[in-house]
Amino acid sequence: MKLLIPTDGSIYSSNAAKVAAKIVQKHDYRLIVLHVVPDKGFTRKTWQDEGANSAISTIKDILLEAGCDEERIDTIIEDGSAPEKIVEIARKERVDRIVIGTHGKNGFKKLIGSVTEKVLQISDVLVLVVPPNYK
């Protein structure tokens, strides 16, 4: 089983990592932690690299604390539009499932975050959405 865990550095991404760690406990697995730096047409700045590395590190720590094997965790940092890059990496890496958190915004976005909503619309890979109040 191969799972993709996109992270934006939020508690909601951390919740998704906890769910992913539970899913793989009884499977032969590979985990991919992905952070997408928004591409604004400029060269990536040092602070963006630091933020991306911090977000990835937080998720990796959660996975390791949950008992996941470090050898089975890959990390990727990409530039671009988060929803499109998430789906692109899911296809490229042939993941079985995307495990993604949601922020819980207003209106329809209250149910699923805007990035999550777009991933659900364009993904041909199974997407597991972890709700904002998940503990």
Collapsed DSSP state (helix, strand, coil) of residue 3: strand
pLDDT for the residue 132: 85
Question: Residue 75 is inside which H or E element, if any?
Answer: strand 73-80
Residue 2 CA to residue 24 CA, distance in Å, equals 9
Structural domain includes residue 135 = no
Number of domains forming the structure of the chain: 1
pLDDT for the residue 109: 46
> Which has the closest alpha carbon to 7: 28, 39, 37, 27?
37
* CATH number for position 82: 3.40.50.620
Q: Which domain holds residue 26?
A: 2-130
The CA-atom distances, in angstroms, between 93 and each of 47, 114, 132 are: 27, 23, 27
Structural domain includes residue 34 = yes
Q: What is the pLDDT of residues 41-82, one digit of tens each?
A: 677 778 888 989 999 999 999 999 999 999 999 999 999 999
Q: What is the pLDDT of residues 113-133, one digit of tens each?
A: 589 989 999 999 999 999 888
